[in-house]
Structure 1
Amino acid sequence: MKKTIGKSNLEGTVTAPGSKSLMQRLIVASLLSRGTAIIHNPAANQDSFHALDCALILGAEVNEDENNSLHIEGGKQAPEYELNVGESGLGMRLFAAVGAMSGYEVKLNGMGSLLERPLTEFEKVFPQLGAQINTTKGKLPALIQGPFTGGSAKLDGSLSSQFLSGLLMALPLAENDTVIEVDSLKSKPYVDMTLEVLDTFGIRTMHKDYQRFTIPGGQAYTPAEVTVEGDWSAGAALLVAGAVASKNGIFVDGLGQKFTQADQAITGALLFAGAKLMNQDGKYRIQAHKLRGFNFDATDCPDLFPALAALAVACDKPSKITGVHRLKHKESDRGVVIQSIFKEAGIRVDLDGDVMTVHPGEVQCCTIDSHNDHRIAMAGALLGLQGGPVTITNAEAVQKSYPEFWDDLEVLMG
């Protein structure tokens, strides 16, 4: 699918889609609960659909009521354990750990770019906790044999916090207590979200400065009733769209603050850049304004890189974004891809170690490929709004996190 986006003046109100990061954690917590959990405003995207499929295979019963809320009855086991998590890195790490709580052999697989994303940290950690994982050269497909028994382990958190999140969700069900020593943990806000979900479902954990996590064993998940809040990762693209292409301002609704979301940091970046941003009764109003170059550390929120880079194009001088090392193992090698597609649009992007420098400029007419990366597809649209027009190929990549993105953008374009 192709989409062509040209210079526009956006107006109107859109609602951010539900958070896929929160949704996947809630699905896992519901699966592990003894009873029926209720999820209101469920996020409808590919990653969440694959997580639901995995929960069903693992024995959950899922029903939808007249209000489109999901009722998930967990606490069961099924003899068939062959899971496919699609292209979800979070799903891969969550369900690898959950699979290791089973006494059965679990087959775990995925598709697309996920087959190139690493599982090597689990190869080191699982044997320390009584389980085994046999990967394919450190990647999917993998065979997992549990159950975890608990104990102590050391975890390198520099690649992704998702390994820790998976362990935090599975190990409360182990027979014994667990202590995990974590080195160089990145994306701590995502760990906070995991801990908040665990607390909501009655699970106790403790940590000291995000370096030593203590997980009491023999616990039981208590089913909860939870509302999925809007996705700040998707909301970031909408807010940047308003900052670069709305003279009178647009409204973005649905962005909650109950659960921690790393990408809420976009508000700080927008304010650093001089954007006009206001929270009005739960709706965020964003308006185009003279933007200034900014420096921003996105190490703990790397999904913001594409939107931040597009924002920087509209600034008065170069902007620097730190944390490039977090981009290699995404749906694409995002640092390199951002540099490439921005070059096609006539925009200079420099990569120097861990720092990306984006130089402002006039967006030229071009065609870019999304590289099957949802956030790159959205970044292409943000470029097009500033000039171009820009044609994005493989635009359907947005299905992974924000299926309604093109429809919502069309609403704002009028």
Structure 2
Amino acid sequence: MTSRGFARPRAALSGQVSVPGSKSVSNRAIVCAALALGESSLRGVAGGDDTERLLAAVQLLGAEVSRRDDTIVLRGPIDTSSTTELVLDAGLAGTTSRFLTAVAVLRSGRTTVTGEPGLLARPMGELHRLVRELGADVHGEREGYLPVTIEGLGVSPASGRSDLTRTLTARGDVSSQFISAIMMIAPMIGGVNIRLEGNVVSSDYLRMTARVMDSFGVRVEFKKEIIEVTAANYRPTDFVVDADWSSASYAFAAVAIVGGSVRVPHLRAETTQPESQFLSVLESLGCTVRDLGDDKGVQVSRDPHHALTGVDVDMSTMSDLVPTLAAIAACASTETVIRGVGFIRSKESDRLGDLAAELEKCGIETVVMSDGIRIRPMPLRPAVLLPHHDHRLAMSLSLLGLREAGIKVEDAHVVSKSWPDFWESMSTGLQLSIVG
């Protein structure tokens, strides 16, 4: 196992950090392009393990994938008429596994979706129920978990027509990715009306899915608690993936912790990514935020002579940034309370329990609540922290070394899930020294 960390800087930070494209947008664009009849170009696609798994899978499904500089050229559609049995390995990628489970509904042949042990432990029962209601046969070794085998409907992605529009009722309080997965295949099976039941977690991601689908020629309508997706054909297009706000949050957090200024180019304040709302949290913490516009991106700064204060905030719309905020909170002058995120306990890790355990190793006092976490900053102490196979825990916890020398993260390579160049990009962009 490899441990790494950042050395404590001697002065305020100053620099520019380039981040990859949004993983969330990339994955949706890849699926839509794979279902379109013709060649799409996807520029700025995220280069992490999760996206590579999805690209490999759509190739197995029959789409053609090639690369030109920073552009993925994807020619669809997938071969839904094939009766060949396929095994699609999603690794540790939850989003990839969920999207592939839905896409398998379109195939004539049997498709098994599997992954590594960490992914096999994540519940998928609600998605499997929805897929069954669409008419596919779903069975696996353990009900509601991967690996799962789907015997699909044999629907042509090039048809997009049917006299039958299905209506499904989906739980909104489990994972928006289940609903996004159904949304993306809905045009191919004659359209689907999805009735949302209960509070919808990460609802902004459903609108992100709709925006990407719209770019490929499919319209989605939101009517109160119902999402309407009509029968249609996906059209190939040239698509540009926005810079990733989740990745940018680590550069912004570094400046919040140490003080100074950082600019992330190509980051758009007007975006479908809900993590852009983190700017208002940074302002509440005591940072100054500037939207520079165009390709100049966004700049965040903090006067190191001014206090970094804790916040009480609902993070339900940007739950992937809970670990980022927790790292900042550990270095603040007052307590932070993060609410509305009880559902993140079944992410790549238990993002509340595991996060609390690692913060406590550094001397931070925490209280895990039913829907969040309370963080009381205390003097930090050196520690080697475990990311629990979670890329977001690894990147967030590594930032604590900027305040206290001797804090490092084991399994530093897990960042490759979303940002393979994390260590180098942060080091180069902010002139940080890496310690191993």
Tell me the TM-score range normalised by the shorter chain.
over 0.9
* CA apart distance, 1:76: 3.6
Matching residue of 1:53: 56
* 2-structure distance, mates of 1:188, 1:227: 23
CA distance in 2 between counterparts of 1:177 and 1:14 reads 42
SS in 2 for 1:59: coil
How far 1:257 moved relative to its partner?
4.5
Q: 2:94 aligns with which of 89, 98, 102?
A: 89
Give the share of equivalent positions with the same residue, in percent: 28
State the shift of 1:222 in Å. 0.2
> 1:287 Cα shift?
2.1
**TM-superposition CA deviations, 1:333-361 (whole Å, max 9, x none):** 01011111111111111112213111123
1:285 match: 299
Which residue of the other structure, out of 6, 13, 26, is the alignment partner of 2:16? 13
Partner of 2:183: 168
1:110 shift after superposition: 1.1
Question: Is the deviation greater in 238-247 or in 250-259?
Answer: 250-259
- Number of corresponding residues: 409
What is the distance in 1 between the residues matched to 2:381 and 2:266?
33
Q: Cα distance, 1:150 vs. partner? A: 4.9
Match of 2:235 in 1: 222
Structure 2: distance between partners of 1:125 and 1:372: 29
**Counterpart of 1:301 in 2: which secondary structure?**
helix
Query: Which residue number corresponds to residue 245 of structure 1?
Result: 258
The AA in structure 2 aligned to 1:16 is V
Of the candidates 55, 71, 82, which is equivalent to residue 73 of structure 2? 71
Structure 1 equivalent of residue 215 of structure 2: 200
Residues 23-61 of structure 1: CA distance to partner in whole angstroms, max 9, x if unpaired?
111110110000000011221100000000011001011
**Does the aligned pair in 2 maintain the 1:272–1:294 contact within 8 Å?**
yes
- CA distance in 2 between partners of 1:373 and 1:26 (Å): 24
The letter for the 1-side match of 2:221 is M
Matched residue of 1:327: which SS? helix
* CA displacement at 1:262 relative to structure 2: 1.7
Could you list the per-position Cα deviations for residues 112-168 of structure 1 after superposition, in whole angstroms to 9, with x for gaps in the alignment? 311111110123222322222113231100011122775221111211100010000
Give the structure 2 partner of residue 35 of structure 1. 38
| 2:364 paired with 1:347 | yes
Residue in structure 2 matched with residue 213 of structure 1 by the alignment: 227
Listed one character per residue, the Cα deviations across residues 277-334 of structure 1 (whole Å, up to 9, x for unaligned) are: 2222433222233222211111122111100111112322101100231221111101
Counterpart Cα distance in 2 of 1:33 and 1:354: 40
Aligned pairs for 1:286-301 (under 5 A) are 286-289=300-303, 290-301=307-318
Name 1:112's counterpart in structure 2.
117
Structure-2 residue corresponding to 1:255? 267
Whether the aligned pair in 2 keeps the contact of 1:243 and 1:276 (CA below 8 Å) is: no
Instruction: Give the 3-state SS of the residue equivalent to 1:315 in structure 2.
Output: coil
- CA contact 2:20–2:44 (8 Å) conserved in 1: no
Taking the aligned partners of 2:337 and 2:176, their CA distance within structure 1 comes to 24
The separation in 1 between residues aligned to 2:401 and 2:117, in whole angstroms, is: 27
Distance of 1:161 and 1:85 partners within structure 2: 18
When the two chains are superposed, the root-mean-square deviation of aligned CA atoms in Å is 1.6
Q: Offset of 1:259 from its aligned partner?
A: 4.0
Question: In 1, are the aligned partners of 2:221 and 2:229 still within 8 Å (CA)?
Answer: yes
Residue 407 of structure 2 corresponds to residue 390 of structure 1: yes
Output the TM-score relative to the length of structure 2. 0.90
Of 282, 286, 296, the match for 1:274: 286
Task: State whether residues 366 and 388 of structure 1, in contact with CA within 8 Å, keep that contact through their aligned partners in structure 2.
Answer: no
* Cα distance in 2 for residues equivalent to 1:125 and 1:64: 34
Distance between the aligned counterparts of 2:78 and 2:71, measured in 1? 21
- Residue 36 of structure 1 aligns to a residue in which SS? strand
Q: 1:258 to 1:130 in 2, by over 3 A?
A: farther
Amino acid at match of 2:292: Q
Matched, 1:314 2:334: no
What is the identity, as a one-letter code, of the residue corresponding to 1:46? D
Deviation (angstroms), 1:388: 3.1
Give 3-state SS (helix, strand or coil) of 2:299's partner. strand
2:387 maps to 370
Q: What does 1:87-166 align with in structure 2 at a 5 Å threshold?
A: 87-135=92-140, 136-147=142-153, 150-166=165-181
AA matched with 1:51: L
Q: In 2, distance between residues paired with 1:145 and 1:258?
A: 40
| TM-score using structure 1 length | 0.95
Distance in 2, Cα, partners of 1:408 & 1:75: 36
Cα distance in structure 2, aligned partners of 1:241 and 1:39: 30
Cα displacement (A) at 1:11: 2.3
Q: Distance in 2 between matches of 1:280 and 1:363?
A: 35
How far does residue 246 in structure 1 lie from its aligned partner after superposition? 3.3
SS in 2 for 1:25: helix
Conserved 8 A contact 1:345-1:388:
no
Question: 1:234 deviation in Å?
Answer: 1.0
Rate the CA distance shift 1:57–1:322 in 2: closer, same or farther, 3 A.
Answer: same
Q: How far apart, in 2, do the equivalents of 1:291 and 1:76 lie?
A: 51
Gapped regions of structure 1 (runs ≥ 5)? none
Conserved 8 A contact 2:319-2:344: yes
Verify the 8 A CA contact 1:129 1:152 in the aligned structure 2: no
One-letter amino acid matched to 2:279: T
User: Deviations along 1:198-246, whole A, 9 cap, x unmatched?
Assistant: 000001222212x2122212x2100010111111111111111111123
Alpha-carbon contact 1:240-1:307 (below 8 Å) kept:
yes
Amino acid at match of 2:114: N
Label 1:80 to 1:257 Cα distance change in 2 as closer, same or farther (>3 A). Answer: farther
Question: Given that residues 202 and 222 in structure 1 are in contact (C-alpha distance below 8 angstroms), is that contact kept between their aligned partners in structure 2?
Answer: yes
Which letter maps to 2:367? D
Aligned counterpart, 1:334: 351
